[in-house]
Each structure stands twice: as C-alpha cells, then as structure tokens.
Amino acid sequence: MLRIGMVVLLALVPVLAHAQIVYKWVDENGRTQYSDHPPPQGVKFEQIGGGTATAPAPPAANAPASNLSTQELEFRKRQIEAAEKAKKEEEDEKAAKAKQQNCDLARSRLKTMEDGGRILKPNAAGEREYMGDEEIETEKIKAQKSVAEICK
C-alpha cells in the first residue's frame, strides 16, 4: 500500500512542478527579478513556467509588499526609527539623571546652610574664611530658591 502511494506521489511531482508560474521582470534599478508572486502593478512582466498569465491583482491597502526591495526599504526605515527612539530615550534618561543630581546638590547645600555652625568658604585670595551670620542667611535663601527651581 505504501509503495503504491509513493508511486502515485512521484508521478504527480512533474505535473505539480509544471503548474507553477514564475514571473520575470526588470525592477526600477535595472535588475532582473524572478518571483512566484506577480510583480507590482504597472510593471511589464514575462511568465515562465506552466499555467496561464493573468494581470497581477492590485495590492490591498494593508497587504504586505511583495517586492523584496520595498520590504528591505521598509525594514531599514523601521530600524532607523527604532534607533532614533532608543537614542531619544537614552537622552531623556541622561537628562533626568542630571536633573536628579542637581536637585540632590541643591538640597545638600540647603541642609548645610540650615544645620548652622561655622561654614568655611574661599575668599578672593584663595584662603579659607568663615561665613558670617548674615552671609549664611543670604546663602540659605539662595539655596531655598535653587531647591524650589531645580527640584520641581
């Protein structure tokens, strides 16, 4: 029984192979294209193989592109869009991290001013000197404004 099935299948192979239609056309770049799918609409083509030639059906609005070069262009476009999106996300992440660091620095400065005690600062000659009470209050107000602006 198995032998008979194999013989029938082998006898049908040439018939099935003969029935396949292959299309040949020249694309917009001057390359000869071969496909079992019809070429894009409006392109002159030649039929190779069995069957009858029919005009290719117009592509559906959401049908995938049958032309490999069109598919390649669409793939590259998606790759570029993905790369741009990843770059933008990375830049946004860096900006958020920098903003957080600036906020932490402003809060640290405010805490230093609020804690009281003696605070050193460099003078014009590069020597260290202690800040007076009025100067500390002025710097404390500046630090509060910085925290309010930076840490929104």
Residues 42 and 56 sit within 8 Å (Cβ to Cβ): no
Q: What is the pLDDT of residue 65?
A: 47
pLDDT of residue 44: 86
Return all residues near 24 (Cβ < 8 A) that are at least 6 apart: 32, 33, 34, 45, 46, 47, 48
Q: What is the pLDDT of residue 61?
A: 54
- For residue 41, name the pLDDT band (cuts at 50, 70, 90): confident
Beta-carbon count within 10 A of 83 CB: 10
The pLDDT of 83-89, averaged and rounded, is 95
3-state secondary structure at position 48: strand
**pLDDT more than 90, % of the chain:** 34
Q: Which of 83, 85, 104, 103 is nearest to 93 (CA)?
A: 85
